[in-house]
């Protein structure tokens, strides 16, 4: 895991956007569009490369939730839980992203790319650096644990049997 202080610029960008928009009068539909298009999109690139600290992601969830429930009277009563706000639109809710799950999914996507294309440069570099003696799930780490590698080392039993040929 990377230290939370490394992501302060992401948090700062989100706060700046949030403060600027709180001065405007926005409908719930406008708030939804801004949250999905900007506030939840700010950390996307970092999520594909690093496992962001859960505390950092919880702070972003809180910031987004406060922005969603903010009204002209400066009251921020949260009428629904964050879990409920993250329920899909098909199920009748808002459909915000759960950033913790999204971060894990994006890192697993990178893992899948690496494992499905074993001749790629990134795959060869990672294998040489961290897994010189065989598949990653069957050995201990060589060298320092990198954030991307930490995400890969989390339990992956659901798809391990299918990866022996890679």
> Which of the given ranges, 70-79, 80-89, 105-114, 145-154, has the highest pLDDT on average?
105-114
CA distance 10 to 116: 31
Instruction: Read off the pLDDT of residues 51-77 as tens digits, 9 standing for 90 and up.
Output: 888 888 888 888 888 777 776 666 666
Quick check: 28 pLDDT over 70?
yes
Buried-exposed string 78-105: b where 16+ CB fall within 10 A, e elsewhere: eeeeeeebbbeeeeeebebbbbbebbee
- CA angle centred on 97, ends 91 and 136, rounded to 5°: 115
Q: From 36, 64, 48, select the one nearest 105 (Cα to Cα).
A: 48
User: Alpha-carbon distance 24 to 113, whole Å?
Assistant: 42
Retrieve residue 15's tokens: 């706060």
Q: Looking at 47-51, 80-84, 157-161, which range is the least confident one?
A: 157-161
Q: Given this model, what pLDDT does residue 19 score?
A: 54
Q: Does residue 164 or residue 19 have the better pLDDT?
A: 19
pLDDT of residue 157: 46
Question: pTM of this prediction?
Answer: 0.67
pLDDT tens digits, one per residue of 79-102: 777 777 777 777 767 778 888 889
Q: Could you tell me what percentage of the chain is helix, strand and coil, using 3-state DSSP and rounding each to the nearest 5? A: 60, 0, 40
């Amino acid at each position: 895991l990377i230290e939370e202080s490394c992501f302060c610029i992401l948090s700062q960008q989100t706060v700046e956007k949030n403060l600027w928009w709180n001065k405007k009068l926005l409908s719930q539909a406008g708030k939804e569009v801004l949250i999905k298009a900007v506030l939840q999109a700010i950390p996307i690139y970092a999520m594909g490369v690093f496992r962001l600290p859960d505390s950092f992601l919880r702070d972003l969830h809180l910031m987004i939730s406060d922005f969603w429930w903010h009204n002209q009277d400066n009251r921020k009563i949260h009428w629904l839980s964050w879990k409920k706000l993250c329920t899909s639109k098909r199920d009748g809710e808002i459909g915000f992203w759960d950033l913790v799950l999204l971060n894990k999914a994006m890192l697993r996507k990178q893992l899948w790319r690496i494992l499905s294309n074993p001749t790629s440069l990134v795959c060869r570099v990672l294998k040489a650096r961290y897994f010189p003696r065989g598949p990653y799930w069957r050995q201990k780490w060589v060298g320092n644990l990198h954030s991307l590698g930490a995400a890969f080392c989390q339990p992956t039993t659901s798809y391990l049997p299918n990866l022996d040929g890679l």
